[in-house]
Every structure is written in C-alpha cells, then in structure tokens.
Structure 1
C-alpha cells in the first residue's frame, strides 16, 4: 500500500512539474511575441561613412530605404517615414518591397511625400508586384521563399508612375546618369532577382570611355543574390545597395540572423561590408528593412531601420 501511495505521489509531482514547465513555456512564448510586436515599431537610423568619392567631392548623403511593407493603419511607421525628410539627404535610394496590402498605396504615398522633394532612384521587389500570403515562418529555415502559384497582384504600375512623376528614376533593368552636387553618378539597376527577373542594362551609354572623368558607379538591387553581386562587382560598380533580407527579422542576440531569404551568408543579412568577386572588391550595404512580413509582424533583436550613408573622399 505504501509503495502505491508513493508512486501516486510521484506521478502527481511529475504531472505538476510538466504543467509548470508548460505554463512557463507558454508565458515565455507570449512574452517573446509581445516583445516582437513592440520592437517592430522601434524605428532606428543606421549611419555609415564610406570613403569612395573622387578627390574634391563630398560629403554626399544617401538615404537608403527598403522593405517598407506598408499596411493601412501603420500610423507610427508613416510618421517616421515622413520625418526622414528632416535629414535633407542628397539622394534617396528605394530598394523595393514597398507594399504589403492591396490598399496600401495611398497611405504609403502620403508618408513618402516629403521625401519626394529630393532626388531619388528605385527598383521593385516581389511585394511591389504581388501581395504576400500566409506561410509558416519556419519554412524560411529551409531556404529562400518560393513564388506563389496564384498571386494577388498589386498596383505597382501606379506606384511606379507616382515615383517617376515625382522625379525619382526607375532603374528596373535600366541605367541612368545623374549629376548630383557636381558629380556624375552612373546608376544601373535590376528587377527583383528573387523572382529571377534581373536583366543587366550595363552602365549608361557614353560613360565607359569617360573613366578619367570624376564619377561614381552605383548598382541598385532588391534581393542580394550572389550572382547579381558578383556581376556588378566584376562590372566595375563602386557601391552596391540592396534590401530584401529584413536583416533576418527574427535574430538571436549575440548570434544574429538565422535566415537571409536568399543565398548570401546570414552574417551578411544586414550591414555594410565588402563583396569580393574575381579579384575585385566593392562595398555593399544591405538594409535590414523597415517593415515585416504582414503575416509575421514581429522583429526580435533586429530593429527596423533606414540607412544614412555619408560618402566622403577616398
């Protein structure tokens, strides 16, 4: 009898232990989710200095925006985006994925309106063309996300038209030269490599024979796939600008990103570093992005960011 009582007591004790552990796990999960919901609105400005300008030019300030993923009702994000105009950048570079909802264009354009007073260039991402769909966030651990079979189309032509009418230059598989603060900038951009839509336009015509004239070659990309970074690096780019990764979006403190949603190493999912290909090195800035997946609206150890790059003399 005593043995049975002891066994029953132990069983109850183990059961209570499991219950306490499960409750603690649930509480930790709720706390983490709550923190992630809070962090997604803790917008920051990452500032970098890069000595790549020809002698006698600079400083030149580039505001790099990416992965806004706007959804109606995101008032804090809208206010923060508008406030970035106070930086008075010399150039705005938008590397795509502006939208995350079919009704997002009007509030997004209102938020970006103050930045339209400055010169700008842009390329699209997949979430400018198509609305996101619900998926298991853990699927990103298995590799880059796949294209949807029956996507909901977004009104990218309208957004692109507005950007263009405001003076921003469309670099979707295109190139363009702009003279800004007395320096010639040669831009070359591609459509989203994540959808395998990139087609290389090269550098603007007439510039290849003018290498002795002060200039800067800038490549603008949404998703930083290695094949695209390699191409532009080998083709003479002085600076690569990309987004897409969200910086990993959910990171481990002290470790960093678990995923990049493309084929670059996860330690390159956010930040300014050098890309090497075929004996040539080019600085690349990968933005950690401003928004999140609409269906996973959290960030952990990866605050939403815009990037202010100050270019100075070499």
Structure 2
C-alpha cells in the first residue's frame, strides 16, 4: 500500500495507479535493458556521464558545451485555431520542461532570474525534475521551489520518466497542480478551455489519454501535457488541439545546424523539437531547460517557451 504522504493522491486518483507506479519504480530502479519503450536505457548506465564528458574533452568542445548548458533562451510560439474561444485570444502559457535541476544548477540559477520577468496566464511543467531516474530528489525539489516561487501565475505539471511519484506532495506544496491522467477546466470571461495531463508514457507506461480526455466535451478546445511527444497519435485520436511535451532535449548534443545525433524517442525527427503538426493536432516539443547525463549542450540551446493562443477566423 502507498505510504501516508501519498494518501491525498490516493484519494484523488485511486490506489491502483499510485501502487502500480510505486511498484514499477521499485522494480525497475537502475534498470538498463528492456524498460518501457527502450531497449537500452543509457541514462541508467553509470559510465555514460564520464563517456560523454571525456569525448567532449578529447575533441576540445567540453568548455563550450559546458557554458552552453548554463544558458537558457526564451522562445515564443504562436498557436492558431478556429476552435479557440474568443475570450482566450491572446492567452499565454509559459512552458518549462526537463529541468533536471540537480544536474543543471547553472541553468536553474539563470532560469530563476528569467521567469520573474515573464508575463503569462498559466505556467505548465512537462516533467523530468530530477537528474537521474532513481535515487534522491531533495536537491532537485529545493532548486525547483526557488524557481516556482518566482512564477506568479497558476502552475500545472506532470511527471516525467526521471521522476518518482513520491515527489508529488512536495511539488503540489509549491503550488503545482499535478495531473495524473486528469484534466482541469480553465475559465475566462465565461468561456472554458480544458487542460489535461498524462503520467509517463515512455518509461513507466502509466499514461491513459482516454481517461484524461473522458470528461472533456469533444467540441471544446483542449490541451494535453505529455512528457514525451511519442503519444502524438493517441492525442490526435482523442481530439486534443494542442500537445505540449519535452523529453527529447532536442538531442542535446547536435551537429551544426541543430541536427540531433540521437533522439531518445520513437517519433518522426521533425517532432523532436519545436513546433509541429499531425493532422488537426498542433504540437510543441521543448528542448528543455536542463540537461541529462552531464551539463553539456552543443548546437541545441536550452529553452523555456511562451505559447500564445490566437483565435483563427
């Protein structure tokens, strides 16, 4: 049974989900092979950070890559839809993803300075707050608390494949409404749009898009938070208008021109970063504010994104 710290979450989303997620976390901690959609989980290979760092040093790029990792750009994305209620024309969403806060402390300091000056109507966080996929998370939570305290708007979030469900009480204590295959209506001047969020579909496969969408009227404008964009087909089939994701880091270490050497996701490369479309579904994959394995980036800047919704027609 889940521990008492998670009792409130159990009452909200049910014991089955919480116990299942806890069981998967315990069973697959530090697992290298055959977890979720992965054949080999490089993030759990203890030599991976050393290999990445050493390779960059050998080719003389480590200093540059290390400096790049501490910089965070603010990007802006315009989402246009004829289904958007007129009351939400100009509505802004600040999107943070893949903070990996304990690994990316330089970026977190930069981020804390940036977010206090950004105007938005809501802020969403699409997972991966911890550096590793296992172990302690207290440092990450402490760094996140400082960032979240500087964002003055409502916050909504989901877990990623690096996160433990045990982090949820602390995240919600920061004011983040965590979504586990749930949705929240957002109202403005008598009109409503719907924001849904799913649990991790990549590593734990505890996502349930159908459940998240079940109470959303088909004619309503709806947004899905999904840590990985790999769920794009199911999101489109469920009728979502916009999908906000992260997970890929845009490749993190890229060739000149931003060409990713490797994307840890099963999806078309055009969906690996930035804005994309699949049928009627608009999507955006953030390159993330933090870094995985080691605090290094090449030809792939860290980002936070301000999405502006506009009514078309």
Give the alignment partner of residue 126 of structure 1, picking from 152, 161, 185: 161
Cα distance between partner residues in 1 of 2:93 and 2:288: 15
Q: Does 1:198 align with 2:207?
A: yes
Q: What are the equivalent positions in structure 2 for 1:188-227 lying under 5 Å apart? A: 188-195=196-203, 196-200=205-209, 201-203=211-213, 205=215, 207-208=216-217, 211=219, 215-225=220-230
Q: What are the equivalent positions in structure 2 for 1:292-311 lying under 5 Å apart? A: 292-293=291-292, 295-311=293-309
Cα distance between partner residues in 2 of 1:297 and 1:174: 33
* Count of aligned positions: 249
Q: Helix, strand or coil for the counterpart of 2:78?
A: strand
Q: Does 1:37 align with 2:66?
A: yes
Q: Helix, strand or coil for the counterpart of 1:51?
A: strand
Cα distance between partner residues in 1 of 2:106 and 2:294: 18
Q: State the Cα distance separating 1:179 from its structure 2 match.
A: 1.5
Any gaps of 5 or more consecutive residues in structure 2?
1-54
TM-score computed with the length of structure 1 as normaliser: 0.73
Q: Quick one: structure 1 residues 184 and 163, their matched pair in 2 at CA, closer, same or farther if it must change by over 3 Å?
A: farther
Cα distance between partner residues in 2 of 1:181 and 1:118: 17
Q: Helix, strand or coil for the counterpart of 1:208?
A: coil
Q: State the Cα distance separating 1:284 from its structure 2 match.
A: 0.3
Contact 2:141 2:170 in 1 (8 A): no
Could you tell me which residue of structure 1 aligns to residue 255 of structure 2?
A: 252
Could you tell me which residue of structure 1 aligns to residue 86 of structure 2?
A: 55
Q: Helix, strand or coil for the counterpart of 1:262?
A: coil
Say which one has the larger Rg: 1
Any gaps of 5 or more consecutive residues in structure 1?
1-25, 130-155
Q: State the Cα distance separating 1:108 from its structure 2 match.
A: 2.1
Q: Does 1:267 align with 2:263?
A: no
Q: Quick one: structure 1 residues 302 and 91, their matched pair in 2 at CA, closer, same or farther if it must change by over 3 Å?
A: same
Q: State the Cα distance separating 1:31 from its structure 2 match.
A: 2.4
Q: Helix, strand or coil for the counterpart of 1:81?
A: helix
Contact 1:95 1:220 in 2 (8 A): yes
TM-score computed with the length of structure 2 as normaliser: 0.73
Q: Helix, strand or coil for the counterpart of 1:35?
A: helix
Q: Helix, strand or coil for the counterpart of 1:111?
A: helix
Q: Quick one: structure 1 residues 166 and 257, their matched pair in 2 at CA, closer, same or farther if it must change by over 3 Å?
A: same
Q: Quick one: structure 1 residues 299 and 57, their matched pair in 2 at CA, closer, same or farther if it must change by over 3 Å?
A: same
Q: What are the equivalent positions in structure 2 for 1:138-217 lying under 5 Å apart? A: 156-157=165-166, 159-180=167-188, 182-195=190-203, 196-200=205-209, 201-203=211-213, 205=215, 207-208=216-217, 211=219, 215-217=220-222
Cα distance between partner residues in 1 of 2:291 and 2:285: 16
